[in-house]
Amino acid sequence: MVLPQFPAGFRWGVSTAAYQIEGAVHEDGRGPSIWDTFAHTEGRVKNGDTGDVACDHYHRWPEDVALMAELGIDTYRFSIAWPRIRPTGSGPANVAGLDFYDRLVDGLLERGIRPLPTLFHWDLPQALQDLGGWMNRETAFRFADYAAVTAARLGDRVKSWITLNEPIVHLSYGYAFGMHAPGEALMFDALPAAHHQLLAHGLTVPVLRAYGAEEILISNNCTPVRAASESAEDVAAAEIYDAFHNRLFNDPILLGTYPDLSAVGLPNNPVHVKPGDLDIISTRIDGLGVNYYNPTLIAAADAAATGLPFDFREIEGVVTTAFGWPVVPEGLTELLVGLKARYGDALPPITITENGCSTADEPGVDGAIHDVARIDYLYAHISALHEAMAAGVDVRGYLTWSLLDNFEWAEGYDQRFGLVRTDFETLKRTPKDSYHWFQSALIAQNKD
């Protein structure tokens, strides 16, 4: 399975997130985050798993960086734990927390790997949640403060930043439906948490530039939305879902406007949007991070029964991952071509900041992990990405989720997304077959 050739300078990498891999939750002055609280609340996470130890990356990062160097990637996307830097969400910075990321950044640069930190991957300091979390407008300003102290320390070496990871997932799972921390089930009343995340993003862009950032992105989870039938009801429901999942976070940033949500009875000028906010939110960025996993099939729903104006339908006739997610590589081409059609010149260059699959892989009798399904998945999705580029979409890099099997949020340690197996008893890392395949693919890409 030989990949098509990508342009010189195309970036290849892996992505991770702090709470999912670091562990060491009580070390060096780190404060509690909403995920510590949530995971330690009975019944919230499968098997009672927590991120207390995770992959112990906090201590084993040199081994992990060595694995990345051996893999041959040029970019590593990780997240910085806000509660390590500002343990109570505001007040003085925790120097030991900054020291950790300082060492990691130096370790990456020594190996020729570009650090690409995300400033928020869902681990809000619990102290800020106690004041309302993202429902409170003030959190946006606390985020910009935290970004400033972090960039002041790392900005001489870190030139590329991601502000937020998947604000739609944090909004919907965390604040609307309650399946993730902080566990609020506010349904449409959660919308201020969307706006305040967007405001945090916009406020942070000039802060990062002031500390030397050359490239600023946001990572949005995007899905091509398909209607379950051609009926006017299903098509209208699919449009509403598209507005929520994709446009709620892309439109304000790229166009400076919110999608029209009046079809579900929501006001177009809600009180939480203050004059001038959309100008801040639409401050120019240098790239859009796209996290793609699968398309979504939508039918009309009886809102009175479910509380939602759309119904999720299964995509039939396709392979699924261990998570049960449909594997639809051409959905990535469809998504990227669709983004280009929707935003035109307003669309900055794209980096795929996440794409990958969970597989139920166990070591074979030979001790190796033959995760053929992941190799098939990666090959097909990277090829689909190449097709989108051939169709004129400007894509600059591909980062797979994830380097290591890790803490998969409410699923605990049950879903394995890594190129490298983590034994959660011994914390031993074992590169899987997909790691070796990706390594050979990168050698082939870089042969000239």
Residue closer to ligand IFM by CB (options 129, 353) is 353
Residue closer to ligand IFM by CB (options 19, 211) is 19
State which of residues 242, 354, 361, 405 lies at the interface with ligand IFM (CB under 6 A).
354
State which of residues 93, 408, 422, 432 lies at the interface with ligand IFM (CB under 6 A).
408
Asked if 291 interacts with ligand IFM (CB under 6 A), we say yes
Asked if 49 interacts with ligand IFM (CB under 6 A), we say no
Q: For the chain, how far is it from start to end, CA to CA, in angstroms? A: 19
Asked if 163 interacts with ligand IFM (CB under 6 A), we say no
Please give the radius of gyration of the chain, using alpha carbons only, rounded to the nearest integer: 21
Phi, psi of 265 (to 5 degrees): 80, 15
Residue closer to ligand IFM by CB (options 93, 350) is 350
Q: What is the DSSP letter of 326?
A: B
**d(C-alpha 322, C-alpha 415), whole Å:** 7
Q: How far is the CB of 350 from ligand IFM (least distance, A)?
A: 16
Asked if 401 interacts with ligand IFM (CB under 6 A), we say yes
Residue closer to ligand IFM by CB (options 170, 195) is 170
Lay out the site mask for ligand IFM across 236-275 (x = CB under 6 A, - = otherwise): ----------------------------------------
Q: Is residue 65 left, alpha or beta, with left meaning phi > 0 and alpha meaning psi from -120 to 50?
A: alpha
Residue closer to ligand IFM by CB (options 129, 294) is 294
Which residues is 296 bridged to in the sheet? 225
Asked if 403 interacts with ligand IFM (CB under 6 A), we say no
Residue closer to ligand IFM by CB (options 101, 413) is 413
Beta strands in 210-356 (DSSP E): 215-221, 225-227, 287-291, 296-299, 311-313, 350-354
Beta strands in 198-257 (DSSP E): 215-221, 225-227
- Look at residues 326, 447, 444, 438 and name the one whose alpha carbon lies nearest to residue 382: 438
**d(C-alpha 375, C-alpha 380), whole Å:** 8
Q: How far is the CB of 220 from ligand IFM (least distance, A)?
A: 11
Q: How far is CA 443 from CA 131, 404, 448, in A?
A: 50, 21, 10
Q: Is 22 considered catalytic here?
A: no
Tokens representing residue 56 in the block: 């112990």
Q: What is the DSSP letter of 3?
A: P
What is the length of the chain? 448
- Closest CB to ligand IFM: residue number: 17
State which of residues 36, 56, 123, 166 lies at the interface with ligand IFM (CB under 6 A).
166
Q: Is 233 considered catalytic here?
A: no
How many amino acids of this chain bind ligand IFM (CB under 6 A)? 8
**d(C-alpha 342, C-alpha 24), whole Å:** 43
Tell me which of 166, 184, 239, 334 is the catalytic residue: 166
Instruction: Tell me which amino acid residue 42 is.
Output: E
Contact 54, 23 (CB under 8 A): yes
Tell me which of 184, 215, 334, 354 is the catalytic residue: 354
Lay out the site mask for ligand IFM across 202-241 (x = CB under 6 A, - = otherwise): ----------------------------------------
- Binding residues vs ligand IFM (CB under 6 A): 17, 20, 166, 291, 354, 401, 408, 417
Catalytic residues: 166, 354
